[in-house]
Amino acid sequence: MFLQITASSDARLVASAVRRGLRPFVMTARGLGWAAIALALLLQVVVGGSYLTLVLVGALIAVGIPMLLINAGTRDALRDGDLTTYEITDGGVASSSLASRHAYAWNAFQFVEEAPGQLIFGRSRTRFLPIPTGTLTPAQIEQVLGTAAGHGLRVRRA
């Protein structure tokens, strides 16, 4: 199998991949923030007084930290916004642009996730390689997912 895809970085697709990768961290921050807000409201009802500082801290944790993580991750991923060529072979996945070339054997990945408009090859929860699928047919996408599964990767379908 050999597939070659050439595409520019799409900020929307990259942001979607970053959100998917950071989902556990974002959900934890949101949960902690909402817990702080709930605690402030509970204290206000039970004890009385104003706990505006705790509400603001909770809002910062629930909204600010996820925004910061996602924006920083997206900016970092878009830093090499050049035209990129992706190659998917029986040996693994490679990406190359004017600035760099990276090649990964299949065992370097833990999973591959089919997402709208892209395949996300995950090395860890926060390290991944998103590959746009706009030029691929459904049969080619299935071939890539089948090859990944054949090499022991967890495959998550859309």
pLDDT of residue 32: 97
pLDDT of residue 80: 63
Burial label for 125, CB within 10 Å (0-12, 13-18, 19+), is middle
| pLDDT bracket for residue 1 (50, 70, 90) | low
**Per-residue pLDDT tens for 62-103?**
999 999 999 988 887 777 667 889 999 999 999 998 888 999
pLDDT at residue 114 greater than cutoff 80: yes
pLDDT of residue 8: 81
pLDDT of residue 7: 86
Looking only at the bridges linking them, the beta strands covering 154-156 and 111-115 are parallel
pLDDT of residue 81: 65
CA 86, CA 96: separation in Å to the nearest integer?
A: 7
What is the DSSP track for 69-105?
HHHHHHHHHHTT-S-EEEEEETTEEEEE-SS-EEEEE
pLDDT of residue 14: 84
Give the number of other Cβ atoms within 10 Å of residue 129's Cβ: 21
Domain at 2-8+82-156, CATH class? mainly beta
Segments making up each domain of the chain, as ranges = 2-8+82-156, 17-78
Angle at 115 between CA 113 and CA 119, to 5 degrees: 55
Mean pLDDT of the region 105-132: 90
**Per-residue pLDDT tens for 133-153?**
989 999 999 999 999 999 999
pTM for the full model?
Answer: 0.74
Give the number of other Cβ atoms within 10 Å of residue 89's Cβ: 14
CA dihedral 23, 27, 28, 33 (to 10 degrees): 140
